[in-house]
Amino acid sequence: MKYFFHSVTLCLLVLALLFWIDSTTKYREFTYKVEAELMTKDLRIQQLEKEVRVLRTDMDILENGFEK
């Protein structure tokens, strides 16, 4: 009976350890995915900012000509 309680306790500890490892792995994967999405969104924002600058310059040239 003594070994039965030890084995049950050991099984519970192993299950707790496996659950901790699984949750840590899922958290890391989630953070990597979020970081990748943020990087792609930052690149897209930078591209759009460049495009807006070019469009503003074009609008300024159309309104005022090449020389002010």
Cα–Cα distances in angstroms (integers) from residue 35 to residues 3, 40, 57, in the given order: 48, 9, 33
- The rounded distance, in Å, linking the Cα atoms of 29 and 18 is 17
Asked if residue 13 belongs to a domain, the reply is no
Cα 63 to Cα 35: distance, rounded to the nearest angstrom: 42
CA 62 – CA 54 distance, rounded (Å): 12
Name the domain count of the chain. 1
Q: Is residue 38 included in any domain, yes or no?
A: yes
| Any domain includes 8 | no
pLDDT digits (tens, 9 = 90+) for 3-21: 899 999 999 999 999 999 9
Domain that holds residue 32: 25-68
pLDDT of residue 63: 87
Does 57 reside within a domain?
Answer: yes
Q: Residue 54 above 90 pLDDT?
A: yes
Q: Is it the case that residue 67 has pLDDT exceeding 80? A: no
